[in-house]
Structure 1
Amino acid sequence: MPLVIAHRGASAYAPENTLEAVDLAAAMGFDWVENDVQRTKDGELVVVHDDTLERTTDAEQVFPDRAPWRVADFTAAEIAKLDAGGWFGERFEGARVPTLTEYLERLEDNGQSLLLEIKDPELYPGIERDILRVLREGGWLDQDHIAHRLVVQSFGEDSIKEVHRQCPEITLGFLGTPPVPELPRYAAFADQINPEDTTLSAEWVAAVHALTGLHGRPLQVSTWTVVDAATAGRVHDFGVDGIITDTPDVVGDVVRPAG
C-alpha cells in the first residue's frame, strides 16, 4: 500500500503550505505532508512554494511598491505580516506563511512526518546548510526522525548531493523522470526518484525498483500531483511507493484497503 502524502498539506481544502493545511491533513488521518522551503532576505527559512509572494499572499496590497515580490527580497518580519489564507477563502483569512521552525513544531505536535522540498536551490546558495541547521535545532535529525519521518527532495541534483555530504544519513529524493538507461546514475545519490504522474509507466516504476538506492535499499517512487481517483488507481497499479496529492481523502479511499 503506497504512502499517501498530503501535497503542501491538504491543499485542495486549505491554503497550501500553511499550518491550517497541515492540521487538516492530520484531522483527515494522514501522517505525511509535503512542503516547500525558500529563504528570506534576512536568512529565515519559510514554507512557501513560489519564489514570489503574490499568488498565495496579499503582498501586492500590503507592499504595492515591491514588485515582483520575491521571497528573497523580503525579511521574515515583513512576510509575517502577510495574509496567506484569504486568497483561498474567507474562513482562512489571517493564515500566515509559516517559518520552517514553526512548521516543524506543528508537525511534531501532530505526530506527522515530512517530505521537505528544497525549492529553487540555485536562488539560495547554502540553503542546504540552513535547512539542516533548523532540522537539527528542531530535533528532526535524531535516529527516529531520520529513519522514519523525514525525506528531503529537490529538482536540484547538486542540492541533494550537498545535503548528503553534510548529513549522510538523510533519505533523499530526486524530482523528475530520468530515462531508464540513466536510472543507475541517479540511484548512486538518491533513495527515491519522484516523478510527475503524467510521465509514469509500470515499466519505468519496475526499472526503478530493480535498482538499489543510496542507502542500500531498493529505490522507491513517490509520484505527484495526483488529485483524482482514476489517476490514483492507475499509479497504484503501477506499484508506486507513495502518492503525493492535494486530495489525500480521495486518494486514501482508493489505495487503503476497506475496513
Structure 2
Amino acid sequence: MIRSTLIAVFSAVALTAPLLSLASGAFAWKSERPVVIAHRGASGYLPEHTLESKALAYAMRPDYIEQDLTLSKDDHLIVMHDIVLDNITNVAQVFPDRARDDGHYYTIDFTLAELKQLKVSEPFVTNGGVQTPKYPQRFPLWNSSFQLSTLDEEIELIQGLNKSLGYNIGIYPEIKKPWFHHREGKDIALLTLIKLKEYGYVDRRQNIYLQSFDAEELQRIKWELMPRLGMDLPLVQLIADTEWGEKKVETNGELVNYDYDWMLESAGLQKIAGYADGIGPWNMMLIRLEGGLPVSTGLAQRARQQNLVIHPYTFRADVQQLPGKFSRFDNLLQLFIRRLGVDGVFTDHPDKAIRVIDKIYPARPAPEAHYSSRVN
C-alpha cells in the first residue's frame, strides 16, 4: 500500500522531487501537453454515454470524447459501454421476456426503435431485486430522463458544436467485442468504418483515434478494411487484464479468456507498433508498489521505445475509486503525467483533469467563435 506520508509529500512539492522510483530509471517529462479523453462523456456527473453527458463533456473542453460502440438488431451503431443492457437501463421492466438463457438482455437482440423506448440511468448492481448505484456519489439513479443514442446522433452533436463554438474536439470510438459480433453474424468493424467515413473521418488529418481490445480485429482494420475503404485512421490497442474476459477465443470447443500478457512485453509492443499507433493500458499496469511506494513497471518506457502513444484508463476522482492510499485525484494524475510521461488520459472527470494539466502546461487559448454576439 502507498504510505500515507507519500501523499502529504506529493501535496507539498507537487511531485517535483524524485519520489517515484522508476525501475527502468526513465523519467519522462513530455514537452507536448497530454490530451484529455472524456471517458463515456462527463460520466462522473451524468449517466454515461448519454447525449447530455457528451454535451457536458464538450463544455469542459477535452481533446476527445469517447464512444463505445455496439450494434442493434437492425445494424445501428449504439453508443453504449457493454453488449448487454441489464445494469444501465430499465430493459427488464419494458421487455421482461427478452432475456437470453444466461439472463442477460443483449443490445443486438433489439431494434433501434425498441432501444429508444428504454430509460438510461447510472450503472447499478441488482441484488435481491434491489438496485445499488455503482458510484454512490454520482447522479441519482433514475432521476430525470435519459436515452440511448446512436453514433450518428453523437457525431452530429460534436461536429455541430465544433462548428458553432469554433473548437475542434475529436472523437475516440471503441469497437466493443468484435468477437461477439462476429459470432452473431455482424461485422461491427466494417460498419463502424463506413459510418466514420460518411461523417468525414477518413485519415490522420481528422481529430480521431479508433480503439479496440481486439488485436486481431485491429490488424484486420489496418491491413484489410481501411485499405479497401481508402481510409487511414490512427489505431490504439487497448490492453485488458486477462482475467477480465474482455475477449473470448474458442479453444477445444469452449470459449476461454484471451491472454493479454504478451502485450506488456517488448516483443509484444513491437508487434503492436506494426499495426497501431498507441496503447491504452489500465493505468495500474504502468505502476506497481514496492515498499509501499509506486514504482514504474517499465511498460511506459517500453512503449515509448516503439514510438507508441500511451493513453491509460480510467482516472476517476471519486474517493472510492482512487487506488491505494491516494486521497487526491490531482496527485494521482500528476504522477502519471509528470513522472511517467503519458501522452493522454481517459477520465470520467475531464474538467478536473484539465485543471491539473493547466497547472503543468500552458492553458490552451480559446478559438474565435463562429457566431455573432449581437442581439437585434
Alpha-carbon shift at residue 157 of structure 1 (Å): 0.7
Alpha-carbon shift at residue 250 of structure 1 (Å): 1.8
> Residues 161-240 of structure 1 correspond to what in structure 2 (within 5 A)?
161-164=219-222, 165-168=224-227, 169-176=232-239, 178-201=264-287, 202=296, 203-211=298-306, 218-227=307-316, 228-236=329-337, 237-240=339-342
Alpha-carbon shift at residue 210 of structure 1 (Å): 1.5
Alpha-carbon shift at residue 92 of structure 1 (Å): 5.6
1:96 aligns with 2:147: yes
Instruction: Find the counterpart in structure 2 of residue 157 from structure 1.
Output: 215
Provide the secondary structure at the position in 2 that maps to 1:225: coil
> Which of 8, 16, 37 does residue 48 from structure 2 map onto?
16
Give the AA of the match of 2:315. V
CA distance in 1, matches of 2:311, 2:350: 14
- Which piece of structure 1 moves more, 175-184 or 233-242? 175-184
Instruction: Find the counterpart in structure 1 of residue 358 from structure 2.
Output: 256
CA distance in 2, matches of 1:89, 1:132: 35
1:62 aligns with 2:94: yes
The answer to whether the 8 A contact 1:38-1:71 is kept is yes
Instruction: Give the TM-score taking structure 1 as reference length.
Output: 0.90
CA distance in 2, matches of 1:224, 1:147: 25
Give the AA of the match of 2:359. P
The answer to whether the 8 A contact 1:15-1:92 is kept is no
> Residues 96-135 of structure 1 correspond to what in structure 2 (within 5 A)?
96-111=147-162, 112-125=169-182, 126-135=187-196
Provide the secondary structure at the position in 1 that maps to 2:209: strand
Alpha-carbon shift at residue 166 of structure 1 (Å): 1.6
Alpha-carbon shift at residue 90 of structure 1 (Å): 6.9
Residue identity over aligned pairs, in percent, reads 32
Instruction: Find the counterpart in structure 1 of residue 344 from structure 2.
Output: 242
Structure showing greater radius of gyration is 2
Give the AA of the match of 1:73. D
Instruction: Find the counterpart in structure 2 of residue 25 from structure 1.
Output: 57
Q: Aligned pair in 2 of structure 1 residues 245, 129: CA closer, same or farther (>3 Å)? A: same
Provide the secondary structure at the position in 2 that maps to 1:256: helix
Instruction: Find the counterpart in structure 2 of residue 34 from structure 1.
Output: 66
Alpha-carbon shift at residue 86 of structure 1 (Å): 7.0
CA distance in 1, matches of 2:142, 2:60: 18
Give the AA of the match of 1:113. G
Alpha-carbon shift at residue 181 of structure 1 (Å): 3.5
The answer to whether the 8 A contact 2:265-2:302 is kept is no
Give the AA of the match of 2:336. V
The answer to whether the 8 A contact 2:67-2:151 is kept is no
- CA distances 1:177-234 after superposition (whole Å, capped 9, x unpaired): 52234211111111001100011044321221111xxxxxx31110000122222111
- CA distances 1:17-71 after superposition (whole Å, capped 9, x unpaired): 1111111111112231112000011111100011111211111111112222111
Instruction: Give the TM-score taking structure 2 as reference length.
Output: 0.63
- Higher RCO (C-alpha under 8 Å, 6+ residues apart): 2
Provide the secondary structure at the position in 2 that maps to 1:175: strand
CA distance in 1, matches of 2:351, 2:122: 23
Is there any run of 5+ residues in structure 2 with no aligned partner, and where?
1-32, 124-138, 163-168, 240-262, 288-295, 317-328, 364-376
The answer to whether the 8 A contact 1:86-1:92 is kept is no
Provide the secondary structure at the position in 1 that maps to 2:119: coil
